[in-house]
Amino acid sequence: MTEAAATAAATGPEQGRQQQQQQQQQQQQQANKDQKKGPSLQELYLQVRDKPCRVVDVRVESLGPEVEGPGGSSQSPKPLRLKQEILDRELDRVYEAKTLRGVHEALERSVEVLRQLEVFDDITALIDAQPLDEPDSCTVQLVLQEVGRYRFGGGTYTQGGEYSVEGSMVARNALGVADQWTVTGEIGTRSSKNFAAAFRLPRARGTWVTPEVRVFQAFANQQLHSSWTEAMRGVSLGIVSADNPGMSLAYEYGWRSLSTGAHASRSVRNQRGDYLKAALRCSCSFEGGGRNSAAVLPTEGWQLRWTNEIGGLAPGAEQLRYVRQQVQASWAAALTDSLSLHIEAATGLLLPSWAANSSSSAGKASSLPERFYLGGVESNLRGFDTRGVGPSEPRRAAAAGGGGGSGGGGAEFGAAAAPGAEAITRDALGGDVCGSVYAALMMRLPGKAGDLGVHAHAFANGGSSVLLQHLGGDGGAGGAAAAGLGGKLGGIGEKLRSSGRELGSTFRWSTGVGLVFPTQLGRLEANYCWVLTSQENDRLRRGFSFGFAANMGL
């Protein structure tokens, strides 16, 4: 061994010991610094959170919107429009707290409730200690920034093959009680129109209930796909849970006029006329798993929505008696930072003439507007035209000089859905039972497109809808009323089983790839589709297609 090699061998262990000593010294110095700093704020809070503490004062400051100036952005004081009695009511729980933990939890709840009033853009809360002569007391500082008195909105979108433009105006807190007054209007390219005026009062009188009153007039033109138009005028009274907006109950009362055109099929013509609709709708929505409800395309969590509607709940509304149920579910999981798996499913059931002892229930068909229609992005069945899946019936040939049917039905039929497309010669009737499923791998695009939320997706989806066969019998008579009821319920069960088998055997499937563009109203998709299975009389949309799905919670 040379002298240099011997020296290196001798100094190697010595250098290792020196490095270890230096690391120990650095760790000791860092520990000394941390000890001098004292415990962190979190550690201090954990030490004193259960000690007695009471709030002696709540100081509220109201600020206007931020204004950009030479020295940067600034906010100036602004009078609070919300009545002081409402603010005091929501802050009472803070004074009732006995410990610092209690004050903290009560203040968090008060801030949450104030946000639910929907009149504040920003809320900042701070707990401040009192002087040393009052060690068991504290004050609360609350900085509030109210929303503007008026808000205007508008936009354009396409759904059901119709392009629409909508506008809205909202007046908030006009009376100082967190009240909201809304006026909306929507006009479509096929003469569809919707106008409504609504009033809502978040957390009315300090309760968890948000009452809503809505007066509306709607005109839906379904001539292109189904040869009927619907005019509806009425009022809706409802309540929504302030703690869970997905829980709602509403009663709708209005007059419906259904009109058809010269080419309408027999099933469509049989339903034209005027009807009184009186329906109670209950909606429940649950979610979890870290789902971000504010996002159009959540990448984590699950959601379940159940909607039940019962029609015919008023004298004179016997012609629109039904029970309509729909269940929608979605689940998403992030596989990587930019890749996620999405699964969605929906099913629906419509039972016409729910009154089992009604003599008019025999052979009663369900109402066309209440049925389920499949086809297109809006119903999670890509590769098929809007309302292009499910029961249909041939349109009749127009008689010479034939008119538009009851109520001035409207347009010429047998026209193409789009320039160059195949003419539509059958009316989509919709189904009483439906089911659909959608699964996709979504990848967030890189660059500016990804910053805007644009995703690429590879998907597979399927679905079908069928009609329940008309229930026979007259519900029993005289002493056989009970037997008639039992027979009718048994008949309903048999028809449901038969429809379930038909639904499974007629499921359509398609797959494809495309781009998803999220918007405030919903998601716009550009897809290339391959249809795997279809049924006779389905209207297909192979190849490139565009579609829009409005935000419905899924």
pLDDT tens string 516-552: 998 877 889 999 999 999 999 999 999 999 888 876 4
Q: What is the DSSP letter of 413?
A: S
Could you identify the residue written with the tokens 């590769």? 383
SS (HEC) of 304-326:
EEEEEEEECCCCCCHHHCEEEEE
Least confident of 73-87, 199-213, 512-526: 73-87
Token output for 37? 């700093």
What pLDDT, in 10s, does the model give residues 19-29? Answer: 676 777 776 66
pLDDT at 354 over 70: no
pLDDT of residue 408: 42
Do residues 383 and 359 lie in contact, with contact meaning Cβ atoms separated by under 8 Å? no
Residue 7 in this model has a pLDDT that exceeds 70? no
pLDDT at position 43 = 75
d(CA 54, CA 325): 50
Go through the domains of the chain in sequence order and give each one's CATH number: 42-64+78-146 (3.10.20.310), 150-394+423-550 (2.40.160.50)
Alpha helices, H only, 97-164: 100-116
Residue 486: its pLDDT value, please?
A: 57
At 293-314, the pLDDT tens digits run 667 788 899 999 999 999 999 9
Contact of 289 with 252, CB cutoff 8 Å: no
C-alpha closest to that of 378 among 222, 519, 549: 549
Q: Is residue 3's pLDDT more than 80?
A: no
Element (H, E) at 237: strand 228-241
21 vs 224, residue with greater confidence: 224
Where is average pLDDT lowest: 248-252, 338-342, 455-459, 465-469?
465-469
In this prediction, residue 401 carries a pLDDT of: 43
The larger pLDDT score, comparing residue 424 to residue 279, is at 279
Handedness of CA 318, 235, 366, 285 (dihedral sign): negative
**pLDDT of the residue at 360:** 46
pLDDT at site 342: 95
Give Cα 169 distance to the centre of its chain.
21
Q: Half-sphere exposure (CA, 13 Å, Cβ side) for 24?
A: 6
What average pLDDT score do residues 237-261 get?
Answer: 96
Q: What is the pLDDT of residues 400-436, one digit of tens each?
A: 444 444 444 444 445 555 554 568 899 999 999 999 9
Q: What is the mean pLDDT of the chain?
A: 84
Give the pLDDT band (50/70/90) at residue 254: very high
The pLDDT, as a whole number, for residue 353 is 76
pLDDT at 500: 85
Give the C-alpha separation, 496 to 504, whole Å: 12
Nearest Cα to Cα of residue 500 among 432, 428, 430:
432
**Cβ-contact 270, 243 below 8 angstroms:** no
Percent of the chain at pLDDT above 70?
A: 79
Of 213-222, 401-410, 477-486, highest mean pLDDT: 213-222
Residue 291, pLDDT above cutoff 70? yes
pLDDT band at 68 (very low <50, low <70, confident <90, very high): low
Q: Residue for token digits 């929608």?
A: 328
* Residues 318, 314: Cα–Cα separation, whole Å: 8
Name the pLDDT band for 476 (thresholds 50, 70, 90): very low
pLDDT reported for residue 550 = 74
Residue at 6: amino acid letter: A
Q: Locate tokens 């629409």: which residue? A: 164
Question: Where is average pLDDT lowest: 244-253, 347-356, 394-403?
Answer: 394-403
The single-letter code of the amino acid at 438 is Y
- pLDDT value at residue 416: 54
Residue 539 burial (CB count, 10 A): 20
In this prediction the pTM is 0.82
Q: How many residues does the chain have?
A: 554
Mean pLDDT value of segment 161-176: 91
Identify the residue whose tokens are 């900085």: 143
pLDDT value at 239 more than 50: yes
The letter for the amino acid at 121 is D
Eight-state DSSP code of residue 372: B
Q: How many helices (H) and strands (E) does the chain have?
A: 8, 23
Strands, E, within 417-542: which ranges?
Answer: 426-428, 433-444, 455-466, 508-518, 522-533
**357: confidence class by pLDDT, cuts 50, 70, 90:** very low
Which pLDDT score is estimated for 194?
A: 95
The mean pLDDT value for 373-395 works out to 94
Q: What span, in angstroms and rounded, lies between the C-alpha atoms of 245 and 287?
A: 12
Q: What is the distance between the alpha carbons of residues 272 and 410, in angstroms, rounded to a whole number? A: 13
Write the pLDDT tens digit of every residue in 99-158: 989 999 999 999 999 999 999 999 999 988 876 667 788 899 999 999 999 999 988 877
Residue 468: pLDDT above 80?
A: yes
Instruction: Tell me the H-state helices in 143-280.
Output: 223-226, 266-269
CB neighbour list of residue 139: distance below 8 Å, 6 or more residues apart:
55, 56, 57, 58, 59, 127, 128, 130
Three-state secondary structure call for residue 71:
coil
